[in-house]
């Protein structure tokens, strides 16, 4: 599982940088007109940070082979998909109800950090 989380983290980092550059250049006017530049930047930032968290979870699984670390990795991945994914969709579509889903991804990310702490503590 540690290889999966490391690879998923690398993909998240790749997408974070790529989408960030795409947003800053190709989507600059669109995001400014829809007043979603900050929202897009938040999605990119959290995708990138939690991509690094996925890599960390993958590395720590080897040192601390406890289920909490594995569950932390899944929580980070779910958090990225829901949090950043819903914000990207909100920016692209303007469907505001997507903003109501975003906090669920944030909660998953918070749970991931708690599980990471617990896994290292118990391991």
Please report the pLDDT score of residue 123 as a whole number. 86
Please report the pLDDT score of residue 1 as a whole number. 73
Q: Whole-model pTM?
A: 0.95
- Please give the tally of structural domains in the chain: 1
Task: Give burial (CB, 10 Å; 0-12/13-18/19+) of 25.
Answer: exposed
Domain span at 85: 2-122
Contact 38, 90 (CB under 8 A): no
Mean of pLDDT values over 102-119: 98
Give pLDDT tens digits for 36-95: 999 999 999 999 999 999 999 999 999 999 999 999 999 999 999 999 999 999 999 999
- The closest alpha carbon to 89, from 18, 48, 36, belongs to 36
Taking the alpha carbons at both ends of the chain, their separation in whole angstroms is 17
């Amino acid at each position: 599982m540690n290889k999966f989380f490391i690879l998923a983290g690398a993909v998240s980092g790749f997408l974070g940088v790529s989408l960030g550059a795409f947003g800053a250049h190709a989507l600059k006017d669109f995001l400014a007109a829809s007043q979603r530049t900050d929202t897009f930047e938040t999605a990119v930032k959290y995708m990138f940070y939690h991509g690094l968290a996925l890599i960390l979870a993958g590395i720590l699984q080897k040192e601390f082979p406890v289920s909490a670390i594995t569950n932390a990795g899944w929580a980070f991945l779910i958090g990225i998909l829901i949090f950043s994914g819903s914000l990207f969709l909100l920016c692209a579509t303007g469907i505001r109800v997507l903003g109501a889903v975003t906090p669920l991804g944030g909660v998953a990310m918070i749970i991931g950090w708690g599980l990471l702490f617990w896994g290292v503590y118990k391991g």
